[in-house]
Structure 1
Amino acid sequence: MSDRHFSHEVWLSKLRDHLTEERYAARTSRQCIAVARHFLRCLDKQKVDVSTAQPASVEAYLQQTRRMYRRRHGHPTDYKGWQCLHTNGIHMLLRLVQGLWPPAPKAVTPVEILQSEMRGEYAQWMAGQRGLAPGTVSHRCCEAGRLLDWLGERATREELATLTHLDVDGYLKYRAAAVGRRSLKDVTTKIRSFLRWLYMTERTSRDLSSTVIAPMLYAFESIPSALRSGDVEKILAATRQDCTQKGIRDYAILMLISKYGIRSGEIATLRLDDVDWRQEVIRIRHSKTGAISYLPLLPEVGEAVLKYLQDSRPKTSFREIFIRACAPYRPFRCGSSLYRLVRHRLEAANVITTGKRGPHAFRHARAVSMLRATVSVKDIGDLLGHRAADSTLVYLKLATEDLRAVALEIPTGVKA
């Protein structure tokens, strides 16, 4: 047995152990191992070591396998299903070997190297000098990278020194074509920060941050999307009838969102020790404000969560309450992971909405139900985790029936 063949068998054995540890189904494990074995043989023919394999190596293998499939079956592959079947095992193997997959793109040209260095220095300044949160640093670096990519070959030290407001306007017009007005305002905030930094580090001859024009947004100009109370009950009833592991989990999640109005990110980070079963209290860590709320554990919510923990939650070392329903059994990556879950439950209950179809629609519905129950704005804000009353007042616009009841009569003789 050659050294290369022995090395391949070692990695395949590690992949097999990884699949077993992550509790993949036996059939899925066999498929992943078979595909990984064929991929290693393909690398041998290309004389490429698995530790130095690049995305181009994977694409070459896929093209070769597609040709073989077409010759054997007489028709092209079902791209999406076939692609997943032939890449899952390869990607897991390469993550085991290289530690990171896909590899981060490397700067090659002088312009790319300069841009990479600038993004790195900008990130260090935001984290070190400004003390910004990692998420904020990441988002602002991404926007700075988009601007530099848009400038292309002009993103050099010499060309940046001649940057003008016309260039800034041109980039914002380019971004405005792909985002809404509210998102564009967020873009302008990020661009102002980057332009200030360019001027502070003497990369531009003037401070262009003052030339960034943001779209005008008015307080309370939009109406939040919210589900009707009847729709909420319909969705909960339909989900409760689903007795599968996923259905039990989804019902517990929807109960928490609909009864407490908590954010999807707070659901994703909810941990086992956040529920005090003896005192019947649940602890909520508010993701936006960083505040912590202790709320009474409602009986119907506690029963739904307990049923999930006893009958449906996969056995795992993770302390988060809610875990993915299929291997690898891990917590939700972030709150946005719940969007597809909620949308699927709306469709299953045949609930059609004109606005948002994600977890926030339940949050808004809870706010409206409390308004109609004459709960004070302060108490609603405390439950929802708002710091300022203005954040809660926006929900007053959703109580349209109550607003109609206090509307003034139009004086006689006034024309519309």
Structure 2
Amino acid sequence: MYLKRELLQFSMRHGHAPVSIEHWRGSHTAGLHQFLRCVVAQWPPTAIAGGSSGATGKAICAEYAQWLRERRCLVAETISERTAEAGRFLSWYDERNKASPLSAMAIADVDAYLQSRAPSLRRVSRKGLAQRMRCFLRFVHASGRTERDLALCVMAPTLYAYESIPSALTPDHVSAVLQTARDDQSPKGLRDYAILLLLATYGMRAGEITRLQLNDIDWRTDRIFVCHTKTGSRSILPLMPAVGEAVLAYLRRGRPSTNVREIFIRMRAPYLGFESGSSLYTSTRRRLDAVGVQPDGKRGPHAFRHARAVSLLRDGTPMKIIGDVLGHRSASSTSVYLKLAIEDLRDVALEIPGLAQQGQP
């Protein structure tokens, strides 16, 4: 009833339904889940009646996670993403087919699920969704739950190499956001400023920041240890004075009193670390909106990562060092950021003879 009322008020206020119902629902239920964890001994309940969406679905996801870890050798964050997608599909399939076994699953079911998820996703996200579903369907077939390997029937949109230009903030945008956050001396402001400095100084991924623990900073030698979420490798970076001062200010005057080891903590009880890097999106975008920065494309933590890559390129930093700072495993991952150095690329552009004769730039 609560969600129905809130959805009705949203539609009346904006004149349309939310673009992504799942995102809207998550933003309204996150606080409720936090509250229920405080008042209920076990939340969410461990035993849920039903087919694949209940205990059976959890068992399948647990087996799938073990398969991804042992057979595919994937890192923890990728395993979490793929098992989460599997859980969503199993819940959807159970509701659609009235608890039918997976052995009865047809490609029409997979197509219907992809169509239900696609409207709120960009083309690159749709490709990722198709890849996650292919992986899960391979597991379902390999574990003997289906006779046919339905992964071969899943179609994904074609993405061309270097077809798009990553979004990045300008140096002025970064400076404005940092200055505004620095002026906010509230506990939340101290936390956000330290996070933004880590993003702008090292180009860290959001997940790498949320996983930082107290022992990852060596204050005696001024070093910070970063565990890269995508590759699983670790980097040792110098702790810049401004970053160290911002983190210390947050630890002394902004961080809630708690026993958890993560550096950055939620501002509301229970005082725990962030669940994932995506948890930083809202606070980062709020800081961008506060100074009127509306970049094209990404408006979250990753835009700071792109901006840092461009600044290193313009300073003449070798690609290998940029890749090491950003935690890239291959040079191809770093070369994507070359497209962002637009002004530098203009200096090496070749003139078109016909246009040059006509006096056109």
Which TM bucket (shorter chain)? 0.7 to 0.9
- How much has 1:323 moved relative to structure 2? 2.2
Given the alignment of the two structures, is residue 152 of structure 1 paired with residue 100 of structure 2, yes or no? Answer: no
Distance 1:224 1:93, change over 3 A: closer
- How much has 1:274 moved relative to structure 2? 1.5
Q: Once superposed, which parts of structure 1, at least 4 consecutive aligned residues long, lie more than 6 Å away?
A: 86-90, 413-416
Q: Secondary structure at the match of 1:183?
A: helix
Measure, in 1, the Cα distance between the counterparts of 2:52 and 2:189. Answer: 49
Distance 1:344 1:113, change over 3 A: closer
Structure showing greater radius of gyration is 1
Contact 1:256 1:262 in 2 (8 A): yes
Given the alignment of the two structures, is residue 219 of structure 1 paired with residue 161 of structure 2, yes or no? Answer: yes
Contact 1:143 1:191 in 2 (8 A): no
Distance 1:248 1:402, change over 3 A: same
The aligned counterpart of 1:256 is: 198
Q: Size of the alignment, in residue pairs? A: 327
Contact 1:324 1:331 in 2 (8 A): yes
1:360-379: per-residue Cα shift (whole Å, max 9, x none)?
11111000011111111111
| Comparing 329-338 and 190-199, the one that deviates more | 190-199
1:97-122: per-residue Cα shift (whole Å, max 9, x none)?
xx3224357334xxx36986366346
Distance 1:335 1:198, change over 3 A: closer
1:12-62: per-residue Cα shift (whole Å, max 9, x none)?
xxxxxxxxxxxxxxxxxxxxxxxxxxxxxxxxxxxxxxxxxxxxxxx89xx
Q: Secondary structure at the match of 1:313?
A: coil
- How much has 1:159 moved relative to structure 2? 3.9
Contact 1:264 1:359 in 2 (8 A): yes
Distance 1:156 1:115, change over 3 A: farther
Measure, in 2, the Cα distance between the counterparts of 1:197 and 1:358. Answer: 33
| 1:9-408 to 2 correspondences below 5 Å | 91-92=36-37, 94-95=39-40, 99-103=41-45, 106-108=48-50, 112=51, 117=56, 120-121=59-60, 123-128=62-67, 130=71, 133=76, 134-136=79-81, 138-145=83-90, 148-149=93-94, 151-153=96-98, 155-156=100-101, 159-160=104-105, 163=106, 165-201=107-143, 203-408=145-350
Contact 1:115 1:155 in 2 (8 A): no
The aligned amino acid for 2:337 is: Y
The aligned amino acid for 2:42 is: L
Q: Secondary structure at the match of 2:224?
A: strand
Q: Which runs of 5+ in 2 are unaligned?
A: 6-27
Contact 2:82 2:132 in 1 (8 A): no
- How much has 1:156 moved relative to structure 2? 4.0
TM-score, normalised to structure 1, is 0.69
- How much has 1:412 moved relative to structure 2? 1.6
Q: Secondary structure at the match of 1:177?
A: helix
Measure, in 2, the Cα distance between the counterparts of 1:294 and 1:272. Answer: 15
Q: Secondary structure at the match of 2:317?
A: coil
Q: Secondary structure at the match of 1:284?
A: strand
Q: CA RMSD in A?
A: 3.3
The aligned amino acid for 2:190 is: I
Measure, in 1, the Cα distance between the counterparts of 2:33 and 2:162. Answer: 46
- How much has 1:394 moved relative to structure 2? 0.8
TM-score, normalised to structure 2, is 0.79
1:361-403: per-residue Cα shift (whole Å, max 9, x none)?
1111000011111111111110011101111111111111111
Distance 1:383 1:119, change over 3 A: same
The aligned counterpart of 1:43 is: none
Measure, in 2, the Cα distance between the counterparts of 1:275 and 1:328. Answer: 24
The aligned amino acid for 2:343 is: E
The aligned counterpart of 2:13 is: none
- How much has 1:346 moved relative to structure 2? 1.3
Measure, in 1, the Cα distance between the counterparts of 2:154 and 2:292. Answer: 45
Measure, in 2, the Cα distance between the counterparts of 1:313 and 1:124. Answer: 37
Q: Which runs of 5+ in 1 are unaligned?
A: 1-58, 64-82
The aligned amino acid for 1:308 is: Y
Which structure has more relative contact order (CA 8 Å, sep 6+)? It is 2
